[in-house]
Structure 1
């Protein structure tokens, strides 16, 4: 009896162990979850494959219950056997078979749950139900798949980033403009358009969800409890372009001791301008990321990294001696024949024979065949056959319809009154004629009988043997192309001479070609020469006037005060004339150089700073300025903007005002800044024993550069924030001044038109990777314009046509979602001269899936610091003979979206 009790105890302990495990595994996808979905709420919300998986789990659970009952019956039978060997043997068999069945069911449950969890990772649940997985195992977080590949351009903290300070803000940049009514709510919880003020600056808690990972998201797909565990006290700010959000927690994240895991979600309810979901068309219908917050507060103010400004500080203008002027490239076109215009295929004659009735023919044909035969076969009077009359080749078979029509798609339709076996029709047509085209770089001109849009009108009744007609045609061509942005033109008789508008060797790269008949003899652009100087750089070499201005911080910066038009951010960052005697706005002037803005218009100085636009990029660390003064066109047909000719410019950047205090009581909690003392700013601040200020900016009146922990800018790099007192001037590095920042440099009258090249790529073409998380590295031979090193593409309008130019993208051979984001770093190469020489670019990404092929794309939308576009065929081991380079092979063949065929 004791032996039986021990055996039964072991059996039920075994069952209890497995049943406990089984219930734990069932929490996410158990019977209750399936029943909840089957009441009607499942429609349109759940992937049917997940429903099937849950049903399988339900069935396995039901079978498990039956097996448990069977095992219990075996125990009962054994306990009541009364020593009968037959009953004991029967009980043992039932118990043995029951345990085997239970093991099979538990194994099936575990396998089904594993597959279902993995599948759920990929498809998501529409409301943010993605399960975060273990990157060390090679599993990615599919919820981050919108980063780079779809709606989101960048985010901070990065997915999976660790050691984030407790007082951080969250930044998200989208690829399209936001509908602000879907972002913010007011104090009463009603949707409103974010206004960067207390009236409407609270986050919509249904759309933006920040939560501790161990507590999970307290909101469902469609609702959020009024009181929940999510962090909802977030203040929202929006940049002027309505693409970047700054979410600032009112309270510190994490804890004073230890690390805290956080999840962050943006639901599909976020809308872009126009009202559709921001994630419409994405493989993942929301965004989900995670990060780890440390127990440290960030009290270190941001700095501009030493040597990370362009142009570099320059104290003296170069001494120049001109050797030879730049020469513009030229080309010629001889009109030797009349160009062809488009004419559709037309029917010349339809001749019936062999007893056939008369017929009419309508054409749907674009080929070169000029004669056909249609016959009714003798062995099938309900059919019609189409032949090439020249060689007898069968082109198609058609059924006669009720209207006595035989339709041959892509060729013609023949209609007659009646038909019978043996009938034959001979058809003669004049094939379609394609229009001739002329291409000058990115502009395509089509020859036509009218001059609408970009058409070039042809001479009426033109004769190729008439010099007068050919001369008139040259005049008509020149009249249209005279408006081209890159070339000027003139004609004489039947010759047209083209000249690049910008002198220099870059003009030799202007493409000139025709498609169609041989109506033109072309001499391509050549002869362009750059200006040569005998120059002596007394300090740093003066920079070309098509330079962008660039400066990089040591950490991410709040973009609100440093990105936008010059007018929008002039109180914080501006570019001005470095002459202290330069005149303010509305002063009388004679030359542009007289004015602080370098703009003298009708004898009056216009503005106090250069006009243009500031942008932030490279994970919110790099700020760039481009002027709005047009001065040329790059090789992709995009406008180039220039700084003033032969100018001496200064960049001024303001620190933010600091939080004030009335007494030391307000400073007690922020040790070591526990003393409220005079600051030299006109108000008291919390200070340490050395008189250094607490770095927190005055957020109620933000007027300068701050980092994501709201610390004010440290211009002189002494580790503390002095506030907006005086300018630290990088050119002479007086550390006793600060914490506003400035540096100056000289601009020449040259234009740099040399395009950038890729010199290094890792991993290399075709390389097999063993690391799931290793970043992709790309080196350029020049300093790059950081704002173009981002994902997606740009549409460039050259004045006549719009062209799509790719940027930097990462794709896979599978639809499995993954996210990526791009950073860049500027490098001073040997010999070190304190000037930035080239840019290295890093593509970071969520962990790759196993056994996948990935494609890295760098397109012609990428530009160097002089705004020259990258020629997409220039890279390691790839010749420059074609327009593109796909997988190490020069090619002109791309898919319909302009991508390499993958």
Structure 2
């Protein structure tokens, strides 16, 4: 009987755990909806209508079922405690009877086995939920754009950081030049035709913008003729990309109280009633279909053509339109006809933000502040930077040369328009007209290249608040299976000097031709010579050279310092969020792999590389590529003495360094002595926390380390605590 009883108990625990796991898998396995988008939107709209008539509240399905499972686990924990108490009672009252003692021990053993199964079930379910949440959240764009109150008016926030990787002007930016263009970058490709008025004429007539305003360097996107592999242009669709003055909004007070054009505070944001109040212009969409540039002043160059006023500041709203109806507004590239934004629960659909123009026009050309590698690094022994291998430490490094898997970077002192020609994988003749180029100095051709001496690869653009462009080779490294990301590694040509070229734009009738060279958001061509003037190409082309060796760096980056520190309390809301790494970072991955979440936080966030140095000669800001600074919308106001909400910056493992290696969260290093930020206490890093984690070899990516006091591994596990030695070490 005892054996049968024990078997029944064991079966009970197994069954309970399997039920939890099965429930999670059945409810949350991803599936594809084959119905038309209009049907899905109608269903959601009808459900929302019915829900509005009930006292029930909408809730996230993952969270709801998670709460149910948590309650079930709590009940099982109580049952476990009761079983242990009962077994203890049997043992204490056995009076030395061997049979009763055996029965009590059997109860305890089975209870412990059941508890272990419960813990394993919880771990599996948590893993499945996290995987599904990541898969459903970012990959599909189906993130509802919440509408927090903001600074006294309703603007959408959470889409910036979840759906968008950046835009300029940024939210609430003031003193924006009147001749600015508006740039928006999405995290995944979008349908270019959703931004373009396909009914527009070929030639501009009166106030009707035609295709003739598009730059000659860009292809025109028309119905049935929108080139898939080129950057494209067309008149803006004012029903999808709306830019308008605050005082043109529907319901704007025209009498008492009189409001100025820069005053949106206390006003409910609403699109203009008259479509003619939406700013006209043309849009340009990049080759990768992720970045959209809106030129609101056409190719005009007089003050009457620009935004705002020369006499007073003027605030503008930019509204990227979403459904309803389904398929309206901005759409994904795939699946065709699917809206980028989800149906909102209230307020404007899609995403919107505000900026304010000043009274001035920007006529200052952009300049290059930094290249990585720097000019002559790996060629001249006096030129040194962090891209060089160390002959005393690194394998295959007889002399100091640039690592082969180095990402090439150019940084500017202000935002510039994204590159409209980014692909040089084919090494073809038209690559010579690209705005940015990387070539083999001696004129030889890379493997697979028959046309030119260009290095096969792609330029990555629209990153780090549009101040940075990067080049990544598409040539696979020989003799390397994978990096810490578990992916292939791509290399520059070995033992070659390379030449980088950033072209200034062609200038015709005092106007820089977009698509022919580097141009800032105000349309000023690159000042490559540094003389303060935009002379156009070739006088203002910027060139530099560096030497590549044989060494390949496979060590992943690690955190040196967190500000505020993990578990910090009573943090002032004005304190910046910063993360300092031990290696320079890939700015493109910073844009896409760092997030900010928090209790009740539904505002915008924007992680970028921080500029903390100034060039002593040019006085231009130089970015510190190992420091991430996270800009964000306002945190929740908390009265003195009250407990504020918890905020959690999240750094994903796909964050990469400048040599394509993925961040490994379990690796941490003690902050460098020359850290850019002073520690608050000289005893902030006790010697006991300096574990042997610093000595992890390049191949030991999976070894977990005990974090030091500055870099605790973020965890929601209340049982987690500090350790005296690396996690996973044998007892």
Same fold (TM > 0.5)? yes
1:745 to 510, 523, 546: 546
Does structure 1 residue 242 correspond to structure 2 residue 254? no
Secondary structure, counterpart of 2:248 in structure 1? coil
CA contact under 8 A between 1:559 and 1:620: conserved in structure 2?
yes
Does structure 1 residue 813 correspond to structure 2 residue 599? yes
What is the alpha-carbon distance in structure 1 between the residues aligned to residue 503 and residue 615 of structure 2? 33
Secondary structure, counterpart of 1:551 in structure 2? strand
Does structure 1 residue 873 correspond to structure 2 residue 659? no
Secondary structure, counterpart of 2:650 in structure 1? strand
What is the alpha-carbon distance in structure 2 between the residues aligned to residue 50 and residue 160 of structure 1? 36
TM-score by length of 2: 0.58
1:609, CA displacement in angstroms? 0.8
CA contact under 8 A between 1:318 and 1:542: conserved in structure 2?
no
2:645 to 852, 872, 875: 852
2:195 to 173, 183, 187: 183
1:857, CA displacement in angstroms? 1.2
What is the alpha-carbon distance in structure 1 between the residues aligned to residue 146 and residue 577 of structure 2? 29
What is the alpha-carbon distance in structure 1 between the residues aligned to residue 231 and residue 190 of structure 2? 20
Match of residue 761 from structure 1: 562
Distance 1:825 1:283, change over 3 A: farther
Secondary structure, counterpart of 1:789 in structure 2? helix
What is the alpha-carbon distance in structure 1 between the residues aligned to residue 584 and residue 396 of structure 2? 22
Match of residue 176 from structure 2: 164
1:184, CA displacement in angstroms? 1.3
CA contact under 8 A between 1:818 and 1:845: conserved in structure 2?
yes
CA contact under 8 A between 1:144 and 1:159: conserved in structure 2?
no
What 5-or-longer segments of structure 2 have no aligned partner? Answer: 1-44, 56-142, 202-220, 253-267, 298-304, 323-327, 382-388, 638-643, 671-688, 694-702, 719-731
1:188, CA displacement in angstroms? 4.1
1:276, CA displacement in angstroms? 1.8
Secondary structure, counterpart of 1:705 in structure 2? coil
1:578 to 441, 445, 451: 441
Distance 1:841 1:172, change over 3 A: same
Match of residue 405 from structure 2: 546
2:499 to 650, 659, 667: 650
Match of residue 840 from structure 1: 627
Does structure 1 residue 627 correspond to structure 2 residue 627? no
1:288 to 349, 352, 358: 352
* 1:756-786 C-alpha deviation (Å, 9 max, x unpaired): 1211211111223554454311111111111
1:258, CA displacement in angstroms? 1.6
Secondary structure, counterpart of 1:559 in structure 2? coil
CA RMSD of aligned residues (A): 4.3
What is the alpha-carbon distance in structure 2 between the residues aligned to residue 318 and residue 210 of structure 1? 51
Match of residue 531 from structure 1: 395
Match of residue 608 from structure 1: 453
* 1:59-109 C-alpha deviation (Å, 9 max, x unpaired): xxxxxxxxxxxxxxxxxxxxxxxxxxxxxxxxxxxxxxxxxxxxxxxxxxx
Match of residue 709 from structure 1: 522
Does structure 1 residue 823 correspond to structure 2 residue 608? yes
What is the alpha-carbon distance in structure 1 between the residues aligned to residue 604 and residue 166 of structure 2? 10
Does structure 1 residue 778 correspond to structure 2 residue 600? no
What is the alpha-carbon distance in structure 1 between the residues aligned to residue 231 and residue 408 of structure 2? 34
Match of residue 325 from structure 2: none
Does structure 1 residue 598 correspond to structure 2 residue 446? yes
CA contact under 8 A between 1:185 and 1:201: conserved in structure 2?
yes
Distance 1:309 1:281, change over 3 A: farther
Does structure 1 residue 271 correspond to structure 2 residue 271? no
1:849, CA displacement in angstroms? 2.0
CA contact under 8 A between 2:248 and 2:272: conserved in structure 1?
no
Match of residue 882 from structure 1: 704
* 1:847-893 C-alpha deviation (Å, 9 max, x unpaired): 12243211111122111111111111234688755389799655999
What is the alpha-carbon distance in structure 1 between the residues aligned to residue 54 and residue 242 of structure 2? 26
Secondary structure, counterpart of 1:155 in structure 2? strand
* 1:163-221 C-alpha deviation (Å, 9 max, x unpaired): 11011111111122112232211344999579599996122222211111122159999
CA contact under 8 A between 2:231 and 2:285: conserved in structure 1?
no
CA contact under 8 A between 1:882 and 1:891: conserved in structure 2?
no
Does structure 1 residue 261 correspond to structure 2 residue 315? yes
1:281, CA displacement in angstroms? 8.2
* 1:416-454 C-alpha deviation (Å, 9 max, x unpaired): xxxxxxxxxxxxxxxxxxxxxxxxxxxxxxxxxxxxxxx
Distance 1:830 1:768, change over 3 A: farther
What is the alpha-carbon distance in structure 2 between the residues aligned to residue 315 and residue 194 of structure 1? 46
Match of residue 490 from structure 1: none
Secondary structure, counterpart of 1:201 in structure 2? strand
Distance 1:218 1:314, change over 3 A: farther
CA contact under 8 A between 1:192 and 1:200: conserved in structure 2?
no
Secondary structure, counterpart of 1:552 in structure 2? strand
Secondary structure, counterpart of 2:553 in structure 1? coil
Match of residue 311 from structure 1: 373
* 1:510-531 C-alpha deviation (Å, 9 max, x unpaired): xxxxxxxxxxxxxxxxxxx953
Match of residue 481 from structure 1: none
CA contact under 8 A between 2:179 and 2:361: conserved in structure 1?
yes
| Residues 121-520 of structure 1: pairs in structure 2 closer than 5 A | 133-134=150-151, 143-148=156-161, 150-188=162-200, 192=223, 195=226, 201-216=234-249, 227-231=275-279, 233-250=280-297, 251-268=305-322, 269=328, 270-272=330-332, 273-274=334-335, 275-280=337-342, 285-305=349-369, 308-314=370-376, 317=379
What is the alpha-carbon distance in structure 1 between the residues aligned to residue 231 and residue 611 of structure 2? 39
1:547, CA displacement in angstroms? 0.8
CA contact under 8 A between 1:206 and 1:224: conserved in structure 2?
no
What is the alpha-carbon distance in structure 1 between the residues aligned to residue 50 and residue 561 of structure 2? 43
Distance 1:872 1:719, change over 3 A: same
1:644, CA displacement in angstroms? 0.9
What is the alpha-carbon distance in structure 1 between the residues aligned to residue 181 and residue 250 of structure 2? 19
What is the alpha-carbon distance in structure 1 between the residues aligned to residue 635 and residue 486 of structure 2? 37
TM-score by length of 1: 0.48
1:311, CA displacement in angstroms? 0.6
What 5-or-longer segments of structure 1 have no aligned partner? Answer: 1-41, 53-125, 320-503, 506-528, 536-540, 583-594, 661-693, 726-737, 792-806, 896-902
Distance 1:565 1:243, change over 3 A: farther
What is the alpha-carbon distance in structure 1 between the residues aligned to residue 409 and residue 499 of structure 2? 12
What is the alpha-carbon distance in structure 2 between the residues aligned to residue 192 and residue 849 of structure 1? 47
Match of residue 788 from structure 1: 589
What is the alpha-carbon distance in structure 2 between the residues aligned to residue 298 and residue 569 of structure 1? 31
What is the alpha-carbon distance in structure 2 between the residues aligned to residue 860 and residue 129 of structure 1? 27
What is the alpha-carbon distance in structure 1 between the residues aligned to residue 343 and residue 153 of structure 2? 20
* 1:129-160 C-alpha deviation (Å, 9 max, x unpaired): 968642xxxx7965022011x22111111011
What is the alpha-carbon distance in structure 2 between the residues aligned to residue 281 and residue 714 of structure 1? 45
